[in-house]
Amino acid sequence: MIYDKAINTDPDRFHVIELAEYTTWGIGGPAASITVNSEEELTGTLEFLAENSLQWVVLGKGSNTLAPTEGWHGVVILSGGEFADFSFNGNVLTAGGGAHLPSMSGAACSLGLTGLVFAVGIPGTAGGAVFMNAGAYGSSVSELVREVKVLHPQGSIEYLTGEDCGFGYRTSRFQTDDSIILKVVMKLSYGPGSRDDLRRNARDILRLRREKFPLHAPNAGSVFRRPDNGPPPGKLIEDRGLKGFRMGGAMVSPTHANFIENTGGATSSDVMQLIELVARRVREATGITLKREIRRLGERI
């Protein structure tokens, strides 16, 4: 089997998961997995994986990720324990890399803190949000980050400021290196409105997301990044008449053309072929090269 090396190396340490159950697209075959609950467990795991020449990837909530239907040969590291926790000290939010982003946003609203309400409907983790510089409605995580604690694969710890993170539109330095985000510190603000106002704002954002995006179907969010000084990808794709276009079980969403839905039984190959077709049609018609926002499991782009 594709995951035999990891399982055979230490069957007590690793177990098999189906990646389809850990990704929002609902696509993916078997892989070896381990859940780490502390920095010590993570450091020991990385040492073990290096000693046995095993490839690995940290997987959060599985949004923005396309896992291979045939399975993956490396080890998927899942975060639990202290990595899933978050806490507030006044207007300072400290979160483990695996902390649930919508829960953090909702808790901030309940405390009367502004700045993170835009993230109330974004599926993902604190670490994933920093990794992608997640954003919506004119706001992004980069505006809030004050410090990021990272672990390098060789075992060293580094503390980065927001400026050190190399944030750009839906990008950060973490997309091109192997460091793991352990902890994120964000600074929020006490808003002029009441807590009820913030919660109302959060409900409005969730309603807008339900109206605008295909939340009824398995998807991975926006497929393509917005081009520099160009129209939104959804408009470019819709103008090509591709809404509803299918490739196997994958379909360009009729609700929003920059989303690809799993209509049932879609494979990773279906999705990639559809992505390539859409990008080619847009490039041929406009000269604009669309760049993927979604990533294949373990891939750097």
Residues taking part in catalysis: 170, 222, 293
| φ, ψ for residue 96, nearest 5 deg | -70, 160
CA distance 16 to 133: 30
> Token pair for residue 226?
């917005």
CA distance 275 to 270: 9
CA distance 267 to 27: 6
132 touches 172 (CB < 8 A): yes
Distances (CA, A) of 92 to 87, 117, 189, 196: 8, 15, 9, 20
DSSP string, 120-185: TT--SBHHHHHHHT-EETTEEGGGTEEEEEEE-TTS-EEEEETGGG--BTTB-GGGSS--EEEEEE
> Token pair for residue 123?
């599926």
Among all chains, which residue has been given the structure tokens 């998961």? 17
